Structure 1
């Protein structure tokens, strides 16, 4: 045809009808006819059982008319091709094509590009070459298995769906019902949708999108490093899944398994428990709680992301950077060490040693004979039971306000002033010129080296000095006092 609105009529053979640029009407008749359609208003007329006919077009979209079997795209852009009730063959091009065969047993050939195939018949055949884009099948069939070289599968129906992948890295998405999704050898992502789905990744490093507490994730041992991503308020990893990532915005409780897990929280106040393995716990923003039960556990917090707490039953633990609090949950003795922040460290019923390190810390030993390492004058000591000791390198320290702490030991190398309380204290100085005052109780004062001064206000106070350990002085308000050995002066 030409530029006008032509009418082309074939003979009885295998005709090729080219209408040209006008709005043409083409009738092929009997035979396997080919129609070249170059304007959307072209009309192709075929009757039933008049051969196997083909439309060739460079239009951006085309839908086959009645009694035409095949559609081939001849352009270079993206194409949307739609079939009819016959068994169609629809062939795309180099672009990102969308091919929909309709009701028949169709053959869909996408070519290069990221193609989408609409599959609505179990007999539909999708053909893709290797490395010809990232392609997707969308189907409303109750079950579907991806053909070779097609990456993604999406369910568009309303009932239950069984979707199976191939050897590629598949993305398989279910619907609102109870779906069964299975990957294969690739690094697959399985998203069952809102129903209580069964997700099996197979080999590869698989990712599971879990959005229903009834979702079941199945992995076998040594089948890659796998990850569950969820917005549920709580989730516990099943066997053979390594990693857990929270994708919601509220508080999250994430629990691992016996593997070496990586568990990531979100912006809320999360509780992360890696389980028995050597885990990596990442809380993000919020006031997070970490359950640490393996010496290989690593807690990762950024600065200024909430007030965070580690709970542990390990015999000793040192706080990681940017974590504020440490709570011992065991029943034996515990050694807990802080960091540069203002820490709160809480022991248990055993004989604990608590060291807040550089910040202004709060140390609570609980029951037991506890030792507190005090390195800031602003450190706060809370204690309720046992025979407890303060160890400090500060130039002066008083336990007068600490009604449940008995002993004070200086660990520095300069001069020290140590003051007791109403209990029977043992106060120990160092190598400097120390001043030791036990207070009201029956105290034991040990000066060590240096020219020490002892304040004695109870007849039961005991002063201990060694030979050649300085020139030492006792000061007392008692009515009578006798110097002990190796003490030179009495005032």
Structure 2
């Protein structure tokens, strides 16, 4: 049967027969029943209902919000953007997986007591499980809504949102629900005794009624148990049957989770695989909520603290592992009654409140990382922290710590105390902090800064940098004497702290501020104030063979080589000025007020909202946790910021001050320098002063604002813009972008430091080791490359662009541009406008064969005028291929220049003043040449 209704606009009901039918309902909101046979049902425009019924049917709803009722043998076909369509999959015996058709948004599984499975598609799906069966549903890609039951019956279902930000509703059976892969924020609800797993992303899990198990998985999750006796786990510990435990080689899936058990007797899981979790719950009289520690955590591993109204549990040696029971001490009915360990030990609420449990305080710890990239932190005490492989960030905190980075590019921070930092393999950053520290770079290109205190620095092999600043004390440098080629060590002297790639022009102490002396085989670098010195042990031991443990000293005004150093050594050291006394003050977990002396003070606020005032002297102020106010006072101060709530006060003429920031930060008034620290890609913004901004080795954005600024990107793909003023910008390792807007701007990159780009508002010539140049702004300017293979792009004005040799790519973009080539191997795209290809004097002959229309495009003029005899050869086809906008090519040049064309060209009597006109026609296309009268035209069968 083939049927088309007589009316094309009504709402029709059409019934097929037992034979194979083709039914086209055309327009209207139609209802079509296929009947028996293998049918083809076409709904056409409108909101249609198509019932395949018996047979292998093809159903095409067309535009509109269509409803399909099908079984396993039917095929649904929907095109993109044809409406919001629904499939009702009805098959009483089907137990396989039903794959949602492409471009269908909604699916309802309909069966009688059978267990069904379904997989969504790439859209934002709404999927409803079978009323009575135990279904398995996967959402696939998209932000999906999945409900276990379509009505109030309820099988025990298992379903997963897969990627996307999904909403998963468990229905009335005992369900297992997975948020699954992807970083979307999933919302998961359940009604009965369910298991809910957030997996990846920052998820919200609602257990509601029933005895539920909730596991947040990776990400910062929020868990609500609801009524019933629930088990809540912020990490990734519980595994239902069939799920693999070791998804990425370990069970370490951290996240900062919030858990709320709700009514009932609930259990919360916590352990080393957690991070900073919170229990936010209210309890009623008679409920017994329990904290369960994961396997392997015993009572001796846990510390309990009362902090404000919160009850906090810490895993010893894993300071990032913290469980806070919020408002525990302000709740009438305590939200936690017991804590249970894997060895059977039980702690009661009475013991919590007495704080009689675990190693309260800061004991010695041994922390061992994995081969991944981790953040490991000690507290007080003498800690040993081994990062193993991976690029780790390790902080020792207070105490005399031993930090080992292992393989990978590590950041080691000793903190207070006499610490030993060993970077291990690869290029590491070692910051000693306060105290007499020992820093060992080992293998790789290392960055060592001992900080305050009398330190020992041994960089090992590689291209190493040793940083010394005012107030660091009397430091010792040890190392292997080398010729300074493959292994090269540089000392950089700073007035203010700088963790950056200083290029060739470091800012810091001037060469006139130091005296070099020899004591035995040691070299002593002494500042005139007598407070600070650096002793390079055995510097002169192998000098006869030109082998030295240190090869350069960098100052603000110059750099000294070994020859310069040897020439400046004097016989004796001037009598030093006695150093100013100072204090080290460490606050409490409350709101502290710490006031320094007239000397060089070290102030640490610890937790709480602290006020730190350094007073006179070169002070170090770190408020640490909390909303802190730091006031450096007179002297060259260093102030550490780790929160947007921190504030800094400095007054005019109080010294050269430096902010170290773990967050994106803009300098306030009267602060000169800013150094980014930590392991997050953040930004640095200057102020109206002449600022010195330094990156942290990641992808930083650095903005100088006003003043003549110095910007150091360090490693990473950085964006540097000095903005107003005459600025110096050093990109460092990585593919950096630097903005130039003043003739006084200076940029610098070392060799092999990435693919770097200058964006310029003004005429500009690329400096060495920069690859790309992009003209910005609205003014026509001059852009010149260098000897590298450059990519140069013009703006929308009339630019002059010259690659200056090399395999360059030149783009004019808008405007009437002149693009100069030197070898004929360049790629040139004139862009819109009337653009000219200029031949440089070192290019005596250019054959357009194989170039025009491929590597040379968008060109309306060729200029050979360069002061030397130059020839260009082209055909009509090549001439037309040079420009898609014009069939006329202008050729200019000097006396002695030659244009070689085919014999088919003819000289016309008409033309333009100063030019001879030639024309040629082939294949229905005509080209016109306007040739400057100084150019000689030669016609021949050049192809022969």
Could you say whether these structures have the same fold, taking a TM-score greater than 0.5 normalized by the shorter chain as the test?
A: yes
Distance 2:863 2:889 in 1: 10
CA contact (8 A) 2:630 2:639 kept: yes
RMSD of the alignment, in Å?
Answer: 3.5
Aligned position for 2:739: 291
1:409 aligns with 2:856: no
Could you tell me how far apart the structure 2 residues matched to 1:289 and 1:151 are?
39
Unaligned runs of 5+ in 1: 1-79, 81-95, 98-113, 115-128, 447-453, 478-491
Alignment partner of 1:196: what SS?
Answer: coil
Does 1:434 pair with 2:902?
no
Whether 1:198 and 2:647 are equivalent positions in the alignment is yes
**Which residue does 1:318 correspond to in 2?**
765
Q: Deviations over 1:163-222 (max 9, x none)?
A: 101221111121201111111120000114456311224411111111234x674323xx
- C-alpha change, 1:432 and 1:395, in structure 2 (3 Å) is same
Whole-Å Cα distance in 2 between the matches of residues 291 and 372 of structure 1? Answer: 22
Partner of 1:269: 717
- Secondary structure of residue in 2 paired with 1:144: strand
Q: In 2, distance between residues paired with 1:292 and 1:145? A: 43
Partner of 2:623: 174
Return 398-407 or 334-343, whichever deviates more.
398-407
Q: Structure 1 residues 432, 196: CA separation in 2 closer, same or farther (over 3 Å shift)?
A: same
Q: Which moved more, 1:352-361 or 1:430-439?
A: 430-439
Radius of gyration: which is bigger? 1
Judging changes above 3 Å, is the alpha-carbon distance between structure 1 residues 305 and 440 closer, same or farther for their aligned structure 2 residues?
farther
Structure 1 position 271, deviation (Å): 0.7
| Superposition deviation, residue 405 in structure 1 | 0.9
1:257 shift after superposition:
0.9
For 1:388, the equivalent position in structure 2 comes to 835
Candidates 355, 366, 369, aligned match of 2:816: 369
2-side partners of 1:246 and 1:151: how far apart?
26
Superposed CA deviations along residues 272-322 of structure 1, whole A, max 9, x for unmatched, are: 1111111111110111111222221111111111111111222x1111211
Q: CA deviation at 1:239?
A: 4.1
| 2:667–2:674 CA contact under 8 A, matched in 1 | no
SS of 2:888 mapped into structure 1: coil
Q: In structure 2, what is the Cα distance between the partners aligned to 1:440 and 1:204?
A: 80
* In structure 1, distance between residues paired with 2:632 and 2:871: 71
**C-alpha deviations, 1:27-74, integer Å up to 9, x for none?**
xxxxxxxxxxxxxxxxxxxxxxxxxxxxxxxxxxxxxxxxxxxxxxxx
How many Å apart are 1:241 and its aligned residue? 6.1
Q: Cα distance 1:289–1:439, how it changes in 2: closer, same or farther (>3 A)?
A: farther
Q: CA deviation at 1:358?
A: 2.1
Task: Determine the structure 2 residue equivalent to 1:142.
Answer: 592
Residue 300 of structure 1 corresponds to which residue in structure 2? 748
Residue 873 of structure 2: which of 393, 415, 419 is its match?
Answer: 419
- Correspondent of 1:151 among 598, 601, 617: 601
Counting only pairs closer than 5 Å after superposition, residues 37-56 of structure 1 correspond to structure 2 as: none
- For the residue of structure 2 that corresponds to 1:372, the secondary structure is strand
Q: Distance in 1 between matches of 2:660 and 2:773?
A: 33
Structure-1 residue corresponding to 2:411: none
Give the CA deviation at 1:436.
3.3
Contact in 1 for aligned 2:891/2:929 (Cα 8 Å) = no
The DSSP-based 3-state class of the residue aligned with 2:639 is: strand
Change (3 A) 1:439 1:196: farther
The higher-RCO structure (CA 8 Å, 6+ apart) is 1
Counterparts in 2 of 1:424 and 1:411: CA distance versus 1, 3 Å: same
Query: What is the aligned partner in structure 1 of residue 825 from structure 2?
Result: 378
CA distance in structure 1 between the partners assigned to 2:632 and 2:667 by the alignment: 12
After the TM superposition, which residues 100-249 of structure 1 pair with which residues of structure 2 at under 5 Å, given as runs?
A: 131=579, 135-140=583-588, 142-155=592-605, 157-194=606-643, 196-202=645-651, 203-213=654-664, 217-220=667-670, 225-231=672-678, 232-240=681-689, 242-247=691-696, 249=697
* Aligned 1:245-260 pairs, distance under 5 A: 245-247=694-696, 249-260=697-708
Q: Number of residue pairs matched?
A: 336
5 Å matches for 1:37-76?
A: none
TM-score by length of 2: 0.33
Task: Rate the CA distance shift 1:413–1:331 in 2: closer, same or farther, 3 A.
Answer: closer
**1:223-260 Cα distance to aligned partner (Å, 9 max, x none):** 7x43343445223224436121112x321111111111
Please say if 1:354 is aligned against 2:808.
no
SS at match of 1:186: coil
Q: 1:189 touches 1:206 (CA, 8 Å); kept in 2?
A: yes
Q: State the 1:131 CA deviation.
A: 2.6
Structure 1 pair 435–336 and aligned structure 2 pair: CA distance change class (3 A): same
For 1:102, the equivalent position in structure 2 comes to: none
Structure 1 238/463 Cα, relative in aligned 2: closer, same or farther at 3 Å? closer
Instruction: Give SS of 1:425's match.
Output: strand
Change (3 A) 1:425 1:130: same
Match of 1:336 among 777, 783, 788: 783
Could you tell me how far apart the structure 1 residues matched to 2:597 and 2:702 are?
A: 37
In 1: Cα distance, 2:903 partner to 2:765 partner? 35
- Please say if residues 442 and 460 of structure 1, whose CA atoms lie closer than 8 Å, have aligned partners that are also in contact: no
